Structure 1
């Protein structure tokens, strides 16, 4: 039984449908926001929007008890909180890591759509990049 079947067995269809719609929208814009972190004019807007996206995914997946999503969204949200507190340019290592995180969420979107089990979190995503080096 895939993740979507588990959700449908435990939650109201409207809740699941709303989650899937919002999740799709959020994952769709993640990568462009991450790339925009390298643009000084767009940095603050992008970091705030990314933080909000990961916070929303954490909250919604927590309600739906999708633990891998909760863990990765929490980890990414914490990393973004560190970046929000700094007023420095984001380095390439951090951008690459965030794109890999976004790819994991995109994979999970496909898993939800195809009613597969969620792919395992790649270990490399659980290693925070050195966000200080330029």
Structure 2
């Protein structure tokens, strides 16, 4: 006999109002879709300031929503990335290739979670390599 498993989306629907969950899923999907473009725009001097601020806002919004919805993994990673972005915003006027690649890997992880949510699976575990900060000083 197959054991019934409740995925993240089912769990959210059983614990929160449908409208709140649907709104989160829609916004999360849009934010994940936009991440890569914002990250790549960081390498364009004329787009840097706008992109770093937008990216910070995206991770702040994901952190807030995932905290409210008690999606611990997503909340912890988005808080971690938000802190790194705050440090970059405060101390740098550009980012290096290592930081760009790290942010693209972060974006990929959130994309995997987007798919996990869509397929109503458990969230894939965070890749430990994402928890190693890039060298922010080496521009």
TM-score by length of 1: 0.98
What whole-Å deviation, never above 9, does each CA across 1:5-28 have from its counterpart, x for those lacking one? 110110010000000000011000
Counterpart for residue 105 of structure 1: 110
Structure 2 residue runs without a partner (length 5+): 1-5
The equivalent position to 1:27 in structure 2, one of 3, 16, 32, is: 32
The equivalent position to 1:43 in structure 2, one of 21, 40, 48, is: 48
User: Considering only aligned residues, what root-mean-square deviation do their CA atoms show, in Å?
Assistant: 0.6
Superposition deviation, residue 88 in structure 1? 2.7
Counterpart for residue 119 of structure 1: 124
Counterpart for residue 62 of structure 1: 67
Aligned length: 134
What whole-Å deviation, never above 9, does each CA across 1:42-86 have from its counterpart, x for those lacking one? 000000000000000000000000000000000100000011012
Whole-Å Cα distance in 1 between the matches of residues 19 and 108 of structure 2?
26
Find the structure with the greater CA-based Rg: 2
Q: Which moved more, 1:82-91 or 1:106-115?
A: 82-91
TM-score by length of 2: 0.95
Whole-Å Cα distance in 1 between the matches of residues 93 and 23 of structure 2?
36
Superposition deviation, residue 89 in structure 1? 1.8
Whole-Å Cα distance in 2 between the matches of residues 30 and 87 of structure 1?
20
Counterpart for residue 11 of structure 2: 6
Q: Which runs of 4+ in 1 moved over 6 A?
A: none
Whole-Å Cα distance in 1 between the matches of residues 12 and 111 of structure 2?
18
